[in-house]
Amino acid sequence: MLELIVISTLNGVLFGMLLFLLSSGLTVIFSMMGVLNFAHASFYMLGAFFGYQLTRWIGFWPALVLAPLLVGAIGMAVERYGLRQTHKHGHVAELLLTFGLAFAIEQVVQMIWGKLPMDYRVPALLDFPAFTIFSTNYPAYKMFMLLVSVVIFIALLIVLKRTRVGLIVQAALTHPNMVAHLGHNVGRVFMMVFGVGTALAAIAGVIAGPALVTQADMAALLGPILFVVIVVGGLGSLPGAFFASLLIGLVQTFAVSVNGSLASLFGPLDPSIGPSLLTDVWNVTIAQIAPILPYVLLVLMLIVRPMGLMGTRET
Amino acid sequence: MTDLTSRAPSPTDSAPARNVGFYAAWGIFIVAVLVLPLIFRSGGSHTTFSLIGIAAIFALSYNILLGQTGLLSFGHAVYYGLGGFLAVHGMNAIAAHGLPVPLPFVPLIGGFAGLVFAIIIGWVSTQRAGTVFAMISLGIGELVASSSLILRSFFGGEAGITTNRTDLPALFGWNFGPQIQVYYLIGFWLIISAIAMYALTRTPLGRMCNAVRDNPERVQFIGYDPHVVRYLSFCFAGFFAGIAGALAAINFEIANAAYLGAVQSGVVLFATFIGGVGYFFGPVLGAVVVTMLQLELSDVTSVWQLYFGIIFIGIVMFAPGGLTSLLMMHRPLLRAGTLPMVLPAYLIALVPTLLFACGVILAIEILAVYSQGGSGSGTIHLFRIPFDLASPMTWLIAAVLTIGGFYVARMTWRGVTDAWDRAMTVARERGYHA
């Protein structure tokens, strides 16, 4: 039991930090530009696939640097030539543009790499167990993932809190119009923020690719969870996104490892009842409902506290 | 949130000329629904018409949300799917118990199923509009789609639930076995639903929906609750989506988890938006275009969904009012008789634009064959012209067409803009405004 708790906590924090790599960029982009980037998870997927391809060509470590840069450049191009043109048509058009983009990116990835999972392996340097805990080997690569996400988290914190750029971004989170009035080149700030946000998503993709499955549907699987994170955290709140990422990471990881159901708790139903909705609900295990838990959390949050955990701003 | 959806024509304009146009549009619509299957008699075209009819009802119901109330939903298929499932269960129950309910009434089961679930789900999700509503609809869509795989006894797991529409009592000797009879059932419901949904836009509620879309704050000031207006609109949309879902269940004689999924929600969004949200018949046009694209493109190319996405992005970026607004843009010119001033510029722009499109298509097809086949040899046919994949000439042609076409097209479209401005000025002088 203790083993389960320790391992699940580690995995949950790891998944949560990965989610935060994505949701931080998404939140900052949303706060500044008012655009919910539907394609954010697609940039994560692009990161994973670029990472895979570059790893085959030039090795993992150069890929870890190069793939996010490439994806960030694509992100900047999307902002410059797509969103900026669409901005005059309003937020619905912008949201729809990113929606169409997510669809198109998935199709392109499917066209180039096919639908099957990629053989994206952990680099040999990190392919060993980091430590053994209660007879379970914990892979070093996962510790590396955790390290990368924590380092980026700290770097992000320093940039946001201690630099002039961070000051502008922070100001734009709450008062985007005022920042523009103060004479900052808002267009360029937007482009940079979009580029950095997508690059962060790509880093998450490159490091998560070998540990999770690198496949053309990975964006469609992660995307909705990402939106749950930022709605639960409170739209536009970075600390909220952080706590919601950890919360959902932990909830999902723990749920997957628990095999209990109502049947195992209260005993099986009388078999003479026959199959019905009740038996479905009675026999389903918590592990089976793990994928829907984030959405249940979303609905509960909206009923109890529609602003989200730390949201302050009406949208 | 509203710039895009607020271009509906003014309701108070009741000039006789417009009334003629109004009745003509409805007349053409009803005649087309009734007569087209008699002209195109093959079974395949009847199937196509049935799909278009279902998609049209679904897209019109979606436009109650997006076009009328300004609510962007990513989970509208929930009500379509639940309507479909309830209809299948209803049909099985009718057949099993020998109830005297003929098939044409089954869509009502689906409609009320959609309505009930919209009543339950809508109250929470319509509390706020805009991005929050979009996210909630997405989350609820995922929730229902995932739950449908868990609650197997009702949703039938991955296989779904089947039914047999001919087991129901016949009506006037129609047992709805042949596709043409199913088509007329769908057409009947299409006309009824379209008239009902149009009437809805003319009620005080429909007007309040538009007001909530355009300026919710002001609506609050004059004493309405925008939440309630959004909620009512959401319930009506759920009802008609349920009818569409039930018709789909009747047509395919099956309901499965795909009915509720994100793909279905995305397709209806594509159809409505490509058709145009600003005009009532926009979604119908969108349903026709999207259904035809789905059926025809998938025969021609393996990466048809990519073209689908590119078309959608193109519409969002360059014609956010959809195809209908592109067409309706020309109405003042047509009336003023200045349309011929624009046509030469259109013809000039058409050539490089088509060449650009060919270049993009060629590049995509090369890439598709190259990455899927792996070998990168062989030939592909584009408009019956063979292209050798191994030769660098093909790549060169694709690059020249794409890049050259793009720059020339951009130049010629400037010419179109100039010609358009001139024609519009003349039209205004003659007293015709946009």
Q: What is the pLDDT of residues A176-201, one digit of tens each?
A: 778 778 887 777 888 888 898 899 89
Task: Report yes or no: A152 and A20 within 8 Å, Cβ to Cβ.
Answer: no
Residue at token pair 């918590």 = A286
What is the per-residue pLDDT for B5?
Answer: 47
Is B155 contained in some domain?
Answer: yes
User: Which residues span the domain enclosing B279?
Assistant: 16-319
Check A96 against B152: CB less than 8 A apart: no
CB of A277 less than 8 A from some CB of B: yes
Check B143 against A291: CB less than 8 A apart: no
What is the per-residue pLDDT for B397?
Answer: 83
Same domain, B406 and B279: no
E strand intervals along A45-191: 129-133, 136-139
Label the pairing between strands B161-162 and B254-255. Answer: antiparallel
Task: Report yes or no: B286 and B67 within 8 Å, Cβ to Cβ.
Answer: no
What is the per-residue pLDDT for B394?
Answer: 77
Of B1, B3, B306, the CB nearest to A108: B306
Is B2 contained in some domain?
Answer: no
Please state the length of chain B.
434
User: How many Cβ pairs within 8 Å bridge chains A and B?
Assistant: 144
Same domain, B51 and B104: yes
Of all residues in chain B, the percent with pLDDT exceeding 90 is 14
Same domain, B194 and B275: yes
Contacts of A7 (CB under 8 A, 6+ apart): A133, A136, A138, A257
- Write the Ramachandran bin of A180: left for phi over 0, alpha for psi from -120 to 50, otherwise beta: alpha
For A92, A177, A196, A274, the CA distances from A184, given in Å and listed in that order, are: 26, 10, 18, 68
* Spatial distance between the Cα atoms of B369 and B371, rounded to a whole number of angstroms: 6
Same domain, B276 and B391: no
For A130, A134, B25, B269, the CA distances from A1, given in Å and listed in that order, are: 21, 10, 70, 47
Mean pLDDT is lowest, of A143-147, B162-166, B242-246, for B162-166
Kindly state the tokens that stand for A5. 């708790």
Interface of A with B in 191-250 (CB under 8 A): 220, 224, 227-228, 230-231, 235
Q: Which chain B residue shows the shortest CA-CA distance from A93?
A: B316
Cβ burial, residue A109 (10 Å; 0-12/13-18/19+) = buried
Check B130 against A315: CB less than 8 A apart: yes
Number of domains in chain B: 2
What is the per-residue pLDDT for B242?
Answer: 92
Same domain, B373 and B260: no
Please state the length of chain A.
315
The interaxial angle of helices A238-257 and A218-233, nearest 10 deg, is: 120
Q: Which residues of A touch B277 (CB under 8 A)?
A: none
Domain boundary among B252, B284, B319: B319
Residue-wise burial string across B135-155, b where 16 or more C-beta atoms lie within 10 A, e elsewhere: bbbbbbbbbbbbbbbbebebb
Check A295 against B139: CB less than 8 A apart: yes
pLDDT tens-digit map of B338-392: 777 778 888 888 888 888 888 888 888 877 777 766 555 566 666 667 777 667 7
| Residue B382, H or E segment | strand B379-382
Is B36 contained in some domain?
Answer: yes
Following CA atoms B173, B177, B183, B184 in sequence, which dihedral angle do they give, to the nearest 10 degrees? 0
Q: Which residues of B touch A308 (CB under 8 A)?
A: none
Helix, strand, coil shares of chain A as percentages rounded to 5?
75, 5, 20
Domain boundary among B259, B286, B319: B319
Question: What is the CATH number for B65?
Answer: 1.10.3470
| CA-based nearest residue to B82, from B240, B252, B246, B250 | B246
Closest approach of B294 to chain A, Cα-based (Å): 15
- Write the Ramachandran bin of A183: left for phi over 0, alpha for psi from -120 to 50, otherwise beta: left
Check A303 against B124: CB less than 8 A apart: yes
Q: How far apart are the first and last CA of chain A?
A: 43
Closest approach of B59 to chain A, Cα-based (Å): 16
Half-sphere exposure for B291 (CA within 13 Å, toward CB) = 20
* Spatial distance between the Cα atoms of B382 and B144, rounded to a whole number of angstroms: 42
**SS3 labels along A262-314:** HHHHHCCCCHHHCCCHHHHHHHCEHHHHHHHHHHHHHHHHHHHCCCCCCCCCC
Check A280 against B134: CB less than 8 A apart: no
Check B146 against A306: CB less than 8 A apart: no
Mean pLDDT is lowest, of B76-85, B160-169, B199-208, for B160-169
Domain boundary among B299, B319, B339: B319
Residue at token pair 């971004």 = A169
Is B75 contained in some domain?
Answer: yes
Task: Report yes or no: B362 and B382 within 8 Å, Cβ to Cβ.
Answer: yes
Q: Which residues of A touch B306 (CB under 8 A)?
A: 104, 107-108, 111
Same domain, B142 and B222: yes
Same domain, B384 and B235: no
Q: In this model, does residue B35 exceed pLDDT 60?
A: yes
Same domain, B190 and B271: yes
Is B287 contained in some domain?
Answer: yes
* Spatial distance between the Cα atoms of A224 and A292, rounded to a whole number of angstroms: 11
Q: In this model, does residue A51 exceed pLDDT 80?
A: yes
Task: Report yes or no: B309 and B262 within 8 Å, Cβ to Cβ.
Answer: no
What is the per-residue pLDDT for A72?
Answer: 92
Same domain, B177 and B241: yes
| CA-based nearest residue to B81, from B254, B272, B294 | B254
The mean pLDDT value of chain B amounts to 82
* Spatial distance between the Cα atoms of B138 and A225, rounded to a whole number of angstroms: 10
Closest approach of A298 to chain B, Cα-based (Å): 7
Same domain, B54 and B188: yes
Same domain, B118 and B177: yes
What is the per-residue pLDDT for B2?
Answer: 42
Same domain, B48 and B75: yes
Q: Which residues of B touch A291 (CB under 8 A)?
A: 146
Of all residues in chain A, the percent with pLDDT exceeding 70 is 92
What is the per-residue pLDDT for B382?
Answer: 66
Of A90, A97, A107, the CB nearest to B317: A97
Kindly state the tokens that stand for A133. 């805990």
Is B11 contained in some domain?
Answer: no
| CA-based nearest residue to B283, from B53, B108, B35 | B53
Following CA atoms B48, B54, B59, B60 in sequence, which dihedral angle do they give, to the nearest 10 degrees? 120
